[in-house]
Chain A
């Protein structure tokens, strides 16, 4: 042992450390380190060489520890990347990101806040409140983030970070918008003091924030995909229900040939048609078009169909049936949705037609001799105005005549230059196909409309009911398209 104690070893130790490129530090700290090392010498026999070896051993140990910390940081980033790829639970990801951020910066506390615009959507805190979701929303740390090693207040925003001495806050942002903030506070040391955050801490935290942004965007896309899938499933169910509402086959009535077809532009549509056998050689038919599209329209179709089925037995006239349906819709459709409908009652032996058209497109009556007649609306659509009234009109279907009742999806079908198919083309079509069997004439009309549209997207359902009085036309009694 040095006879003058550890202090006498300091100059020699300084020389040794400087010679091998180690920073000896200031006089006091070096003396403290030398004294500590000397105290651990076996039998109290410390020499300059022994103390230097001891100090270098410790330095090497610290360097290796720091190197392992850097490896750990890289591994954490790698693991987080993998988690983001395989983990779509945003809550769990937020926990993982926050804990790793606190752990790798040696912080005592931290918080992670995500928001959608100004609305907080997820908040996580560890080790104290640190930052409320509302403050997180209004916290402005720019795009680079902010280190505050002086006090808990961030200079750019005046937001107070409670329960901490020093803090580091970085934004979580996508290419176009801010998604949240990630904050850590109070970087601790082995001796129990709080030290300043380093720029390297800010870089690490920014990398975590970038990972978080990717995770959030991935989770959002996943949520949207699930939502879309759910809506598609609902639409499929609604479409199945609606298929049950529409008649599966067209009924047969003596002396008449009928074809009917519906084509929806969506999985569920807003058109409806149906048939109802009545006493006294009569039957009723209805073609309707409800307002709106998609599921809401399909629900209204369901309400309308129920109303007709419920009321048709009790109504004494077509007008009374329409009035009852109107009241039913007004009672059960609170959003004031409405429907146009054409209700006809045919006496099959004579071809006499009674009809009410509630705001529906004019039906086309193609006479056997080639004349075209239109049967216009006899009142307003059902379901809107409380004081609506309707009148009943009559026509006679003579042998060879064809009655075409349709929805506006046919006449308002548009081509790429926004021209509509229109009633003139419809009339011309029926003049041209007078010799075609009913079913063929009906299905060919859809082809004609498709050809006219020339691949332009169509947004309205198309329904056609074609009813022909037999005699002039040979063939089966009824046809289902």
Chain B
């Protein structure tokens, strides 16, 4: 199994899609945090986090994602998740991430939801 988290970004105006691959633990979470920080500084306000290639996430990674979400909200931005495994989907709902960010089946659906908030 591939474990180290890699992040790929595709920007479209003030919306960006961040695709992750691998374990979202402290290291993976911080990689996402760095990436989001750069996007925010570059004028992006809406971010889709596509976790299609992530099969595992731990609570340290979740706490970092919560910090990322808080930062987005402070800046009046919005974040949405998509392509979660059933286990990660349930984890995010239990840990409260779904309260602040939408969870969608597809990237397109997540982009549409964020576009509606613009």
Contacts and interface: CB of A to CB of B under 8 A. Distances in A.
Interface residues of B, number: 19
A178 to B, nearest CB: 25
B117 to A, nearest CB: 25
Given A106-B25, A189-B26, A190-B26, A69 B59 contact: yes
Interface string B7-35: 00000000000000001011000000000
B63 A79 contact: no
A79 B87 contact: yes
A200 to B, nearest CB: 13
Which of B1, B57, B96 has the most chain A CB atoms inside 10 A of its CB?
B1
B60 interface: yes
A190 B63 contact: yes
Interface in A423-438: none
A99 B55 contact: yes
Contacts of A75: 90, 94
Count class of interface residues, chain A: 20 to 34
A125 B1 contact: yes
Given A100-B87, A190-B60, A71 B94 contact: yes
A188 B94 contact: no
B29 to A, nearest CB: 9
A65 B57 contact: no
B56 interface: yes
A109 interface: yes
B106 interface: no
A96 B90 CA distance: 14
A100 to B, nearest CB: 7
A304 to B, nearest CB: 55
A65 B60 contact: no
Contacts of B63: 65, 190
Interface in A57-78: 64-65, 68-69, 71-72, 75
A103 interface: yes
Contacts of A106: 25, 58-60
B57 A103 contact: yes
Contact of A189 (B3, B60, B87, B96): B60
Nearest to B1: A126
A249 B87 CA distance: 64
A67 to B, nearest CB: 10
18 contacts: A65-B63, A69-B95, A71-B94, A72-B59, A75-B90, A79-B87, A100-B87, A102-B56, A103-B57, A106-B25, A109-B3, A126-B3, A126-B23, A127-B3, A188-B25, A188-B26, A189-B26, A190-B63
Interface of A: 64-65, 68-69, 71-72, 75, 79, 95-96, 99-100, 102-104, 106-109, 124-128, 188-190, 192
